[in-house]
């Protein structure tokens, strides 16, 4: 991947801003998502391949550079209203409340933010300065046990709407099995994860999502059932559950390649997914995307914007953005470069019509709603729709795809083979 040099950044930015200035579609006034990347972690999990660093001493300098980028890019989509803010990582919960407030204050100062915006922050159960008191105070402690008076109440307002309110938490639990947690190098244990959910609820957070992973090395169906038992007993509103993916360069991939363990059989992984879908349905959760389940009214608005092709800006090293038309932006995944150029080292990609069509098909089929065929024809032409329906015909006859009014969607029993079906539908 080639990123723009400093000498070319000014010209590229002018070109990018000129392209963006031609946008007149009303949807850009109605919806804009912001993704804010916090790359710091205390240690690296065995399965993770996201851009992150353990250089926590750089947090002050990083936030200064991050706020500079956030401020400088306001005019990329000047008429848009921010409806979702997602602070991800890395581990955003490593930042002090003061630094988190500085980031959100910068956003609210320079962007038009909807009063009802969804503001999500990721956290780890063991990194958060949780307090025994919902209001923080003298008993608030950090994960190191130091009394620093930075409990949840010291953050930007939580649990409701308003300027800078964090109203949604995404908690990275992955599993409630202590042996598996140690294997994948998570620092928390099951008891800490459960306590974190309870304390967030005590602090007034009414929109809590947790992440789980299935298909972990040596994981049995009984262990997965135990994870689901606990998850659905906690009173959470949202669950994201992903099959373990062995990514190049990760510790788990190296261990697998060295023969330390074998992958969970595909048949067991499919059974785990089927049990997940069944248990979520029994708990009243809507299966609104292949890996995401929510109580009614609690789907992730931010992540949903990715699947519908809405515009969003990505801030921080390695963060991506999309103008909603055909231009993607990727910041260089380097902390040193980011600190030096404050987000001005980036790459732009102009998507072809075929690439846009393929993305629209792939993303829409991940959702319960499926592909809006009328919208697809209006956007890409009747011939594209005719080709899609022709390629979908064998899957429709086999019951893997369902044509419902003017929407084409995956059948529930075909979700685990969605990649194979989608590959048959996209254009080369």
- The pLDDT mean for the chain works out to 84
Tokens 């000498």, residue?
7
In a domain, 341, yes or no: yes
In this prediction, residue 249 has a pLDDT band, given cuts at 50, 70 and 90, of confident
Answer for the pair 151, 200: CB distance below 8 angstroms, yes or no.
no
Tell me the per-residue pLDDT of 374-397, one tens digit each, with 9 for 90 and over: 999 999 999 999 999 999 999 999
Residue 95 DSSP symbol: S
Tell me the per-residue pLDDT of 175-232, one tens digit each, with 9 for 90 and over: 999 999 998 888 889 999 999 999 999 999 999 999 999 999 999 999 999 999 999 9
Q: For position 170, which CATH number holds?
A: 3.80.30.20
Residue 256 pLDDT: 85
Residue range 303-322: mean pLDDT, rounded: 92
Residues 321 and 373 both lie in one domain = no
Is 22's pLDDT higher than 70? no
Residue 38 pLDDT: 94
- Domain C-terminal end among 319, 350, 381: 350
- Virtual CA dihedral for 201, 303, 293, 230, nearest 10 degrees? -40
How many structural domains comprise the chain?
Answer: 2
In a domain, 1, yes or no: no
Residues 333 and 365 both lie in one domain = no
Answer for the pair 307, 364: CB distance below 8 angstroms, yes or no.
yes
Residues 344 and 358 both lie in one domain = no
Residues 91 and 14 both lie in one domain = yes
Residue 185 pLDDT: 84
In a domain, 189, yes or no: yes
Residues 173 and 216 both lie in one domain = yes
In a domain, 136, yes or no: yes
Q: What angle do CA 255, 214, 221 make, to 5 degrees?
A: 105
Residues 213 and 271 both lie in one domain = yes
- Virtual CA dihedral for 399, 241, 249, 266, nearest 10 degrees? -40
Residue 195 DSSP symbol: H
Residue 365 pLDDT: 94
In a domain, 201, yes or no: yes
Structure tokens at 218: 């040596």
Residue 241 pLDDT: 96
Residue 230 pLDDT: 98
- Domain C-terminal end among 333, 350, 367: 350
Q: What is the CA radius of gyration of the chain?
A: 22
Backbone φ and ψ of 119, nearest 5°:
-120, 105
Residues 302 and 364 both lie in one domain = no
Q: Which residues neighbour 19 within 8 Å (Cβ) at sequence distance 6 or greater?
A: 323, 325, 327
Q: For position 405, which CATH number holds?
A: 1.10.10.920
Residues 94 and 10 both lie in one domain = yes
Answer for the pair 46, 251: CB distance below 8 angstroms, yes or no.
yes
- Domain C-terminal end among 330, 350, 370: 350
In a domain, 269, yes or no: yes
In a domain, 153, yes or no: yes
Residues 380 and 231 both lie in one domain = no
Residues 380 and 345 both lie in one domain = no
Residue 297 pLDDT: 96
Is 373's pLDDT higher than 60? yes
Structure-model confidence comparison of residues 148 and 158, the more confident one: 158
In this prediction, residue 163 has a pLDDT band, given cuts at 50, 70 and 90, of low
Enclosing domain of residue 360: 354-425
Residues 67 and 135 both lie in one domain = yes
In a domain, 130, yes or no: yes
Residues 286 and 376 both lie in one domain = no
Is 238's pLDDT higher than 90? yes
SS3 350: strand
């Amino acid at each position: 991947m080639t990123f723009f040099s400093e000498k070319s950044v000014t010209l590229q930015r002018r070109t990018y801003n000129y392209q963006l200035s031609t946008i007149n579609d009303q949807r850009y006034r109605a919806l804009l998502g912001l993704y804010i990347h916090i790359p710091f972690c205390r240690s690296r999990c065995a399965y993770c391949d996201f851009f992150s660093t353990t250089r926590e001493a750089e947090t002050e300098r990083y936030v200064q550079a991050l706020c500079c980028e956030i401020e400088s890019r306001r005019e990329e989509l000047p008429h848009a209203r921010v409806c979702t803010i997602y602070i991800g990582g890395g581990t955003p919960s490593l930042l002090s409340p003061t630094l988190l407030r500085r980031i959100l204050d910068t956003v609210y100062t320079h962007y038009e933010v909807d009063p009802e915006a969804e503001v999500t922050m990721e956290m780890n159960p063991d990194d958060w300065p949780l307090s025994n008191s919902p209001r923080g105070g003298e008993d608030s402690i950090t994960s190191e046990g130091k009394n620093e008076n930075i409990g949840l109440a010291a953050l930007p307002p939580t649990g409701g709407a308003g300027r800078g309110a964090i109203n949604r938490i995404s908690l990275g639990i992955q599993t409630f099995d202590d042996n598996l947690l140690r294997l994948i190098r998570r620092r928390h244990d099951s008891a800490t994860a459960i306590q974190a959910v309870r304390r967030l609820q005590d602090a007034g957070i009414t929109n809590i999502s947790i992440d789980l992973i299935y298909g972990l090395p040596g994981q049995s169906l009984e262990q997965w059932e135990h994870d689901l038992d606990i998850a659905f007993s906690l009173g959470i509103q949202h669950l994201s559950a992903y099959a373990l993916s062995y990514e190049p360069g990760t510790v788990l991939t190296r261990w697998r390649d060295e023969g330390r363990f074998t992958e969970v059989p595909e048949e067991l992984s499919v059974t785990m997914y089927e049990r997940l879908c069944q248990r979520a349905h029994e708990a009243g959760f809507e299966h609104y995307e292949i890996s995401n389940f929510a109580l009614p009214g609690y789907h992730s608005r931010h992540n949903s914007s990715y699947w519908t092709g809405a515009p969003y800006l990505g801030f921080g090293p390695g963060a991506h953005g999309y103008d909603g038309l055909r231009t993607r932006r990727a910041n260089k995944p380097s902390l040193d470069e980011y600190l030096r150029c404050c987000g001005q080292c980036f790459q732009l990609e102009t998507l072809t019509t075929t690439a846009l069509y393929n993305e629209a098909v792939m993303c829409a089929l991940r959702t319960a709603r499926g592909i809006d065929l009328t919208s697809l024809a209006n956007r890409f032409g009747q011939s594209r729709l005719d080709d899609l329906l022709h390629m979908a015909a064998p899957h429709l006859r086999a019951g893997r795809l369902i044509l419902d009014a003017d929407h084409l969607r995956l059948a529930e029993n075909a979700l685990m083979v969605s990649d194979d079906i989608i590959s048959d539908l996209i254009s080369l």
